[in-house]
Amino acid sequence: MSTVALSGQDTLVINNRILSDLADGDVAVLEYPNNIADVKTGKNGNSIYALNETGKNAELTLRLIRGSADDKFLNALLVAQEQNFAGTVLMIGEFIKKIGDGTGQIKSDTYLVSGGIFIKRVAAKSNVEGDVGQSVSEYKLKFSNAPRIIT
């Protein structure tokens, strides 16, 4: 029998708040911009391997409905970070994907993010041709650690 994965009903949590005012398309994208390790080979085929701790960093892009309760919540955290960076309380969260196997069994594919900060401000645009993107707030966050756990 082939392997299947049924995905849906993802849960996004930042600072114990379940985000529900999600926009369209890719509402959350978690990426790892750095390699976790590297290798270089030199003379006579000698190789040097090094662990890259920055490979634990993750970047999260969130797309929320502009002006929603979740947008206001994250904007308040962003304003607090800008007003007193040294006093910033780092964000924590979870990105939980529910994966079904087609027989009723469900697994949780969970990313536990910690040490989060905002790395960009929320941009805005105005469009007279009905571009729905003008009603979306896009947040860019960076986390110091984001391990993945499958249960």
CA distance 122 to 147: 26
How distant, in Å, are the alpha carbons of 23, 75, 89, 120 from that of 82?
Answer: 25, 10, 12, 11
pLDDT for 1 equals: 61
Rounded Cα–Cα distance for residues 94 and 106 (Å)? 18
- Our count of domains for the chain comes to 1
Domain containing 44 equals 6-150
Asked if the structure places residue 39 within a domain, the reply is yes
pLDDT tens digits, 21-37: 999 999 999 999 999 99
pLDDT of residue 3: 85
Look up tokens 């990105």; give the residue. Answer: 95
In this predicted structure, the answer to whether residue 131 has a pLDDT above a threshold of 70 is yes
- More confident call, 8 vs 98: 98
Q: What is the pTM for the complete model shown? A: 0.90
Q: Is residue 1 part of a domain?
A: no
Gap between the terminal Cα atoms of the chain: 22
Residue 37 covered by a domain:
yes
Is residue 24 situated within a structural domain? yes
| Contacts for 122 with CB less than 8 Å, ≥ 6 apart | 75, 78, 137, 138, 139
Identify the pLDDT of residue 39. 97
Q: What is the mean pLDDT of residues 120-139?
A: 93
Least confident of 39-43, 64-68, 98-102, 144-148: 98-102
